């Protein structure tokens, strides 16, 4: 008896400038070469490269559908689609976990990319939950912009100094606002002390 093909969940994660979007695009292009139907989604919040494009920091681009909420993806995926790719997953609401699970149970290969930690060095959004349900996970590293070692952290800088802990969690930007840093060179933002 032939085994029925099942869906899968692949998570690509790491810090800023580690090549997450570039790896997602590489996997999508391989699926397209194999004549698989692919649909690509991104959060509407990510405007890099234009509203309907995924864009890596090194300029590699791919067409994508922007969505405001994770649940919208379910209504947009065609029945004959075999691969669903989702970039910048850390920006989606909590429903992203359920959406990804449903897609996989409906025999879709789901490829997700997103930051594992925010600039505070804390888990970002629901990426930890997505990593927990993944069939496969790739943690990518950038190069520390201070010492040249492998970098896992994203240092947000304001006027050349680490941003304060209380700065907004979401700030879409590139090398003008962020640096890739290793654990040794990363400077965790300090919380402002509360007056008694």
The catalytic site residues sit at 88
Q: Which residues contact 163 (CB under 8 A, 6 or more apart)?
A: 119, 156, 157, 189
Return the closest-CA partner of residue 114 out of 129, 99, 135.
129
Burial call 65-83: b when 16+ CB within 10 Å, e when fewer? ebbeebebbeeebeeebbb
Q: Which residue do the tokens 């359920």 mark?
A: 98
Contact 41, 86 (CB under 8 A): yes
Give the ranges where the chain is alpha helix by DSSP (H). Answer: 20-33, 72-76, 95-105, 127-133
CA–CA distance, 98 with 104 (Å, rounded to integer): 10
């Amino acid at each position: 008896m032939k085994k029925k093909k099942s869906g899968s969940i692949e998570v690509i994660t790491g810090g800023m400038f580690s090549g997450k979007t570039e790896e997602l695009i590489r996997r999508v292009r391989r699926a397209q070469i194999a004549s698989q139907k692919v649909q690509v989604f991104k959060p509407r919040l990510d405007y890099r490269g234009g509203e309907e494009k995924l864009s890596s920091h090194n300029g590699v681009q791919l067409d994508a559908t922007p969505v405001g909420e994770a649940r919208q993806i379910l209504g947009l995926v065609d029945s004959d689609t075999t691969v669903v790719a989702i970039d910048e997953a850390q920006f989606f609401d909590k429903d992203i976990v359920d959406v990804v699970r449903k897609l996989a149970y409906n025999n879709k290969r789901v490829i997700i990319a997103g930051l594992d930690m925010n600039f505070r060095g804390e888990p970002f959004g629901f990426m930890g939950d997505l990593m927990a349900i993944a069939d496969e996970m790739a943690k990518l590293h950038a190069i520390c912009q201070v010492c040249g070692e492998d970098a896992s952290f994203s240092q947000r800088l304001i006027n050349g100094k680490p941003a304060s802990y209380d700065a907004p969690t979401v700030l879409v930007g590139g090398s003008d606002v962020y640096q890739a840093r290793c654990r040794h060179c990363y400077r965790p933002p300090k919380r402002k002390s509360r007056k008694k």
